[in-house]
Amino acid sequence: MASVLNQELLGALDLKVLSVQRTEAGRWWNFKHVISPFSRLWLILDGRATVRHHDRTFVLQPGRLHLVPPFMVHDCSCTRHFNHYHLHFAARLPAGIDLFSLLDCEYQLPAAAGDLTFFNRLESIYPDRKLPCYDPSREEYKQFPVRLPPAGPPASAVADFEARGVLSLLLTPFLQSAKYHEGVHARVTRQFMAVQEFIHAHMRQPITLADLARVVQLHPTYFSDQFKKVVGVRPLDYLMQRRMERAQYLLLTTRASVKEIADSVGIPDPAYFSRVFTRLCRVTPSVYRATHAA
């Protein structure tokens, strides 16, 4: 496992708790095609429900922890009663990548004896970090600004430090079973991290093939061929995919206009941005924002 999750990688990880609360759910907890730019972690306390993702159906029952990675489309269903703790969190690397978007792991595990205490503690640290409702189709849910919290005064900095430690303990069992998945995003991150970091830092600016090749000190043609061999797509196609992923994130987590989002991902022509977004994401930016949950 050390070759996958080494000390340098985990040491650079930025963990943030975004929302945490305990919820008594019933038959209303029945949502289809839910997607979030952040990971979700559930601790099941009582009752029974199901969630489907990765082409699998998982039974949520007492004494289990369940993890849903970011940008993973999932369906939720409860037929009677479901009492659970849930939290949204981010686990970002310096390049802006969420670690759990790169990994495959066991998504459901037995809860440890102290996990309920950990959730209780997170809720006491962040008593106001709660969702306005639970239905992804409702307007207040769509507009809920799930943004990374700003730095606070020293007292809250200490609380954030403790929360990161608690969250680390909750995530450790999942990381112990983790391995890199073989998606395009994971391959480019492993072997072209400097390119990924450059894209993240210069997203708003025009980026050419020569700019990307210069990052790894290779001739553009050779770099493009090697990148295609490792990743499966050409560098500029990958760049556009990352721009569209960033656009999805902004559509789900901000109220910025489509024009403003287009400009922030380096495509100042909103009409062209909309055409590319629709081609890659199969829906227009406006429809994507209206139909997906934050």
- Rounded to an integer, the average pLDDT of 55-68 is 96
Question: Which residues have CB under 8 Å from 272's CB, separation 6+?
Answer: none
Confidence of residue 229 (pLDDT cuts 50, 70, 90): confident
pLDDT higher than 50, residue 159: yes
Beta strands in the chain (DSSP E): 14-25, 31-34, 39-47, 49-53, 56-60, 64-68, 74-77, 82-92, 103-104, 108-110, 179-180
More confident residue, 224 or 245: 224
pLDDT at site 150: 42
46 beta partners: 83
pLDDT at site 191: 61
User: Distance (Å, rounded) from C-alpha 279 to C-alpha 264?
Assistant: 19
What the block records as the tokens of 44 is 């099941």
102 neighbors 189 (Cβ within 8 angstroms): yes
Instruction: Name the one residue in this structure whose structure tokens are 């024009």.
Output: 259
User: Distance (Å, rounded) from C-alpha 221 to C-alpha 37?
Assistant: 34
188 neighbors 116 (Cβ within 8 angstroms): no
Percent of the chain scoring above 90 in pLDDT: 44
Query: Per residue in 3-30, pLDDT tens?
Result: 457 776 777 788 989 889 999 999 999 9
SS3 83: strand
Query: Per residue in 274-292, pLDDT tens?
Result: 999 998 888 899 988 887 6
All domains of the chain in start order, with CATH: 7-180 (2.60.120.280), 184-291 (1.10.10.60)
- The CA-CA-CA angle for residues 155, 161, 166, to 5°, reads 125
